[in-house]
Amino acid sequence: MTSIIDLDRVTFSYGDTVAVRDVSLSVEAGEFLGLVGPNGSGKTTLLHLMLGLHAPDEGTVELFGQPVEEFDDGGRIGYVSQKATSRGGAMPVTVRECVTMGRFAHAGHGRLTDADRAVVAEAIETVGIGDLADRLVTELSGGQKQRAYIARALASDADLLALDEPTVGVDAESRDAFYALLDDLNDDGITIVLIEHDIGVVTDRASRIACINTELYHHGDTESFVESDALAEAYGATGQVLHHHH
C-alpha cells in the first residue's frame, strides 16, 4: 500500500513544553486511523504536524510522498478542525458557500465554472443535506454542520479526510449517522484520520489506532490495541474499552 502520511521521529514543543516526542507512524492509503489519547496528550498537535500546520522541531513529515513543507496540492486534503465545528460566530455563510470553498484550491484566482458548481451540488447531496444548501451554517445543528464540512472536503476531491473531534456537541443519533457516512466514504477509498475522545467509537470504526500521550503508546490494528495495555499506560490508569451495541 502507498503511504499517505509518514512521520519519522517527530518531536514538537510549545516553548519548554514537549507536546509530541519522538513519534514515528505512517498512514496508508484507504486506512481509517483513529487517534486517541487523554486530554492534552498532543493529539491535535500530532494531526497539525501531519498536515503541515506545525513544523516539527525534530524529525520529518511526508504527505503524499512529499516533504510536508513542499506539499502544495491542498485540494487532496479535507480538514475539519475542532474550532470550525465548535465556533459560535455569526458569520453569515450558507452551506453552499461553505462547500464551494472546497473548490478554491482548484480554481485559484480564476472564476468557478459550472463544473465546479456541479461538484459542489453533488457533494451537498452526497452528505444528505441537499435541502439545506441555502441555509446559513450558523443555523444548522451540530450534526448538520459536520456534514457541511465533510461536503466541503468531498468537493475538493480529497483523498485524505482529517477530522479533529468532529462530534463534540452533537447528539448521539446524529453522531451515529455521521460515523456511518464516514464508513461509506472510507469504503469508497478515502483515507481517514480521526481524533475522537470516545474510544468506543474509534475502536468500532477504525482499522488502526494510534494512542498517544506525548509519546506514541500504540500504533497498530484495532484488535491488538483493545488487547494491549496501551490504553491504561497512556491514560495513566486502568481502563477498558467498551463497545456500543446497535
Partner 1 sequence: MNRDTAGDGRTDDSDIETDGGATSSAGATASRPSRGIRRTVELAGIAVTAVVAAVMLGFVFLYWAQDLPIASDLYAAFRSVGRGMDAVFGTNVFRHPIMWQSMATGVLVGVVAPLVGSFLVHREMALIGETLAHTAFAGVAIGILVNATTGWDGSLLLVALLVSIAGALVVQWLTERTDAYGDVPIAIMLSGSFAVGTLIISYGRGLTGINIEGYLFGNLAIVTAEGARLMGVLSVIVVVGVLATYKQLLFITFDEQAARVAQLNVTGYNTLLVVLTAVVVVGAMQVLGVILVAAMLVVPVAAASQIARSFRETTYLSVIFGQLAVIGGFAVSIGFGLPSGGSIVVTAIAIYLATIVGSGFSVKAISAHG
CB of 141: closest distance to partner 1 in angstroms? 4
Q: At its nearest, how many Å lie between partner 1 and the CB of residue 138?
A: 5
Contact 71, 63 (CB under 8 A): yes
Q: How far is the CB of 176 from partner 1 (least distance, A)?
A: 2
Of 22 and 112, nearer to partner 1 (C-beta) is: 112
CB of 84 to partner 1, least distance (A): 5
Distance CA 158, CA 189 (A): 10
Minimal distance in Å, beta carbon 241 to partner 1? 8
Provide the 8-state DSSP code for 93. -
* Neighbour order of strands in the sheet with 17-28: 17-28, 3-14, 58-63, 66-67
Binding residues for partner 1, rule: CB under 8 A, are: 51-53, 71-75, 77, 79-81, 83-84, 88-94, 97-98, 101, 104-105, 107, 109, 112, 128-129, 131-132, 134-136, 138-144, 152, 156, 162, 169, 171-177, 180-181, 198-201, 239-246
Residue 177 CB, nearest approach to partner 1 (Å): 5
Considering beta carbons, is residue 22 or 53 the nearer one to partner 1? 53
Residue closer to partner 1 (CB basis): 35 or 77: 77
| Cα 130 → chain centroid | 23
Ramachandran region of residue 20, left (φ > 0), alpha (ψ -120 to 50) or beta?
A: beta
Residue pair 152/98 in contact (Cβ under 8 Å)? The answer is yes
Ramachandran angles phi, psi of 154, nearest 5°: -65, -40
Task: Select 29 or 101, whichever has its Cβ closest to partner 1.
Answer: 101
Question: How far, in Å, are 40, 99, 174, 195, 216 from residue 204 at the CA level?
Answer: 23, 29, 16, 14, 21
Pick 118 or 242: Cβ nearer partner 1:
242
> In this complex, which beta carbon is closest to partner 1, that of residue 9 or of residue 69?
69
